[in-house]
């Protein structure tokens, strides 16, 4: 999952996209988790509902990073990879304010 997420940095943001040429936020996480054998819905809210919050001190690479209408993949050391928006595409960046770390239970 982590290697896949890293390999997608630079891909474009596509509304409703789940790859291979572009992603929206939940399509990106859905595809990455599928590679680990975990089926997720194509909705950031539905993915968040399937997870449970964990503290940032307990966060592990591969956890979800969730917020209102958004989801990404935690990479460790306060960083994440997500399909941000049409301007950014898939990027590696700091976990910004308003997001929480969650783990699929």
Give me the pLDDT at residue 26, please: 98
- Which domains occur in the chain, in start order? 2-104 (3.90.1720.10)
- Catalytic one of 24, 25, 42, 86: 25
The H-assigned helical ranges of the chain are 2-7, 25-35, 44-49
Confidence of residue 94 (pLDDT cuts 50, 70, 90): very high
Catalytic residue check, 24: no
Annotated catalytic residue 42: no
- Predicted TM-score (pTM) of the model is 0.96
Report the 10 Å Cβ neighbour count for 9.
12
Q: Per-residue confidence at 105, pLDDT binned at 50, 70, 90?
A: confident
> Which pLDDT tens digit goes with each residue over 13-66?
999 999 999 999 999 999 999 999 999 999 999 999 999 999 999 999 999 999
């Amino acid at each position: 999952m982590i290697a896949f997420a890293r390999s997608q940095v630079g891909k474009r943001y596509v509304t409703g996209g789940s790859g291979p040429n572009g992603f929206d936020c939940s399509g990106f996480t859905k595809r990455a988790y599928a590679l680990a054998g975990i089926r997720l819905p194509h909705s950031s809210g539905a993915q968040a509902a399937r997870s449970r919050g964990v503290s940032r001190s307990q966060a592990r690479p591969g956890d979800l990073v969730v917020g209102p209408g958004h989801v990404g993949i935690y990479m460790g050391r306060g960083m994440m990879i997500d399909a941000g928006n049409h301007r950014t595409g898939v990027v590696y960046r700091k976990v910004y304010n308003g997001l929480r770390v969650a783990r699929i239970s």
